[in-house]
Amino acid sequence: MTSTVSRRHFFRTSVGTTTTSTTTVSHARIVLKRLLVICLLIAETTALNLAADDSPISQRNSATQALHELFDSEWQRTLRESPTHASQLGDRRYNRLWSDVSEEAIETSAAKTRAAMARLLQIDVSPLSDADRLNYQLFKREYETRIASQPLQLQFLPVNQRGGIQNQNDLARLLSFDTVTDYEDWIARLNAFPTYMDQTIALMKNGMATGMLHPKVVMKRVPTQIRKQLVKKAEDSLYYAPFRTFKVELSEAEATRLRSAAKAAIERNILPAYARFLKFFEDEYLPASFDDVGCWQRPDGQQMYAALAKKFTTTDLTPQQIHDIGLSEVARIRSEMEAIQKQVGFEGSFQEFLTHLRSAPQFFFTDPNDLLQAYKDCCQRIDPELPRLFKRIPKAAYEIIPIPAQMAPDTTTAYYQRPSADGSRPGGYYVNLYRPQDRPKYEIEALSLHESVPGHHFQIALAMELDDLPEFRRYGGYTAFIEGWGLYSEKLGEELGLYKDPYSKFGQLTYEMWRAVRLVVDTGMHSQKWSRQAAIDFFVANTAKSLLDIENEVDRYIAWPGQALAYKIGELKIRELRALAESELGARFDIKDFHDVVLRDGAVPLGVLEQNVKTWITKVH
């Protein structure tokens, strides 16, 4: 009531102080009435528009909102269902949890994936922006792949010689321990470990029942890894590492409390769980594993392998077509390698030259610290040259780190670990220092280009910086693109001033040959029923890699069917597109622009990459 009186008083005062005649007052009243009518009409029209707006702008806003709400909800589900992945990205909300890998949880997740696909298909694509149409397309492809993979029952293979529950302690090294809560969360995770172990064993038992198994030759490596967890004192456990040196200031009483709780968790939960796992593994699981190698032994194994080949290459190439591409590439690269043999003046057969490269002391370090320093020196030479080929340099740094000792004997020469999303941890270029006498100097440059810059660190860190992309694209991607870029980066060494030593250039060709050989031996073992020894022999005949590396590589392909196909298929597509751009654009071709086009959308399927490059070529024309 007070506010109404005040408005009326203001109106009378205004009119009274600005008018002097009845005519003027009457005119003012007419104007005000007309203004009131106009306001009512505007309000009514606005209400009608809000109730049912069929304009293109409204349709776009509605479709865009629905799409990004789906992206956001599914990303949050990804983090909830993969708490260790969330922790690695720097999201601490699930730091007390392991993934729920019970059969019920896996079935529930699969149902939610199908429901998400149904939601996606209800969204009208036509009003979306070009960028969101691509987001839609990639999300749809990813979820179609997930749904198609559900009948393959790959969840029944949670462990192999390269990783699994036997080395989950490595997670601690990837986490930030900045507060007391971080330590308490890790203790809670340790206490939750038995459930995670029981669920994992249940999956493996289902694998035994359904024929979803790995071959004995790779699984026989696992018991040694498990035994490294079975220490006599809790303080010697790999899971105890965060408590040896605290990264926060604590009172003596607080430090004692945390250490005591960690020791108790290891003694009561970690050690008994691993003892139970070792017994199951040696008594039941290993004897049930396949005697032969190859995906063809699993239920519908040939169809499974064809599906995995399609997934990892993002193409419709058949295993036979991929095998034939591999043979062709092996022949091409072999001729370049033989040319270097002539250049260095080695007299003897090609096989004798390879033997010389594998065994001559001049090509190897004896001290692992010297090998580590050589990797660091190489990267220091690469870093300042990158602006010559790239417009954008990642903000995130990377470190060169030795592969943990408990995994080094059973894994490959190097690998990469992405930086955390919150910026608390740099990227990691992990190098294998085990048996330096088997790790040639001439492969250091090619390997560093692939795993660090401008390879995996460069591409993955730049993708993480694309804030306009939804999270599933910033932190995900396609192996054919990611590994294809890594292999393409090895070739860039020539343009970055590397490979001045012909032996180093031979090392680059050895690495390229390595990926070509993969196409042959991966399809050979998993589709054509090659033996492990046949794969090793083909490798030995065509590369200068050491026998230790070759055996570890072949065993990796045995345990991970199809993944090794991605590298060469992806690299061939990127090189094909670069050759097309150079041919079409001539003097207008700019290598920095080409690389920017390739990297600007993150890791995409090869078909999308091809369209992006061809669109750019048309615009530059």
pLDDT in tens, 417-459: 999 988 889 999 999 999 999 999 999 999 999 999 999 999 9
Residues 31 and 153 in one domain: no
Residue 90 makes CB contacts below 8 A (sequence gap 6+) with: 176, 420, 421, 422, 423, 424, 425
pTM of the model: 0.86
Q: Structural domain tally of the chain?
A: 3
Output the 3-class SS for 516-564.
HHHHHHHHHHHCCCCCHHHHHHHHHHHCCCCHHHHHHHHHHHHHCCCHH
Identify whether 100 is part of a domain: yes
Whether pLDDT at 405 is above 90: no
Asked, for residue 113, whether it belongs to a domain, the answer is yes
In percent, how much of the chain has pLDDT > 70?
90
User: Alpha-carbon distance 218 to 552, whole Å?
Assistant: 9
**Is there a single domain that holds both residue 317 and residue 361?**
yes
Q: Return d(Cα 562, Cα 298) in angstroms, integer.
A: 14
239 and 340 in a single domain? The answer is no
State whether 23 and 169 are in the same domain.
no
> In this structure, are 389 and 355 located in the same domain?
yes
| Residue whose structure tokens are 């029209």 | 45
Q: Is residue 39 part of a domain?
A: yes
DSSP 59-70: HHHHHHHHHHHH
Question: Does residue 607 belong to any structural domain of this protein?
Answer: no
Q: Is the pLDDT of residue 20 over 80?
A: no
Nearest to 523 by CA among 337, 330, 333: 330
What pLDDT is stored for residue 412 in this prediction? 82
In a domain, 598, yes or no: no
Reported as a single tens digit per residue, the pLDDT across 34-54 is 444 444 444 444 444 444 445
Domain of residue 475 covers 304-574
- Verify that 173 and 212 share a domain, yes or no: yes
- The verdict on 474 and 543 lying in the same domain is yes
In a domain, 601, yes or no: no
The answer on 272 and 392 residing in a single domain is no
Any domain includes 612: no
Residues 346, 395 share a domain: yes
DSSP per-residue letters across 409-462: GGS-SEEEEPPPTTSSS-EEEEE--SSGGGS-GGGHHHHHHHHTTTTHHHHHHH
pLDDT at residue 2 tops 50: no
Report residue 520's pLDDT band, with 50, 70 and 90 as the boundaries. very high
Which residues make beta-bridge pairs with 415? Answer: 430
Rounded Cα distance between 349 and 358, Å, is 14
Domain membership flag for residue 591: no
CA-to-CA separations, 432 to 403, 410, 437, 507, 509, in angstroms, rounded: 5, 10, 12, 17, 21
Higher pLDDT, 387 or 31: 387
Q: Say whether both 467 and 542 belong to one domain.
A: yes
Give yes or no: residues 462 and 547 share one domain: yes
What does the mean pLDDT of the chain come to? 91
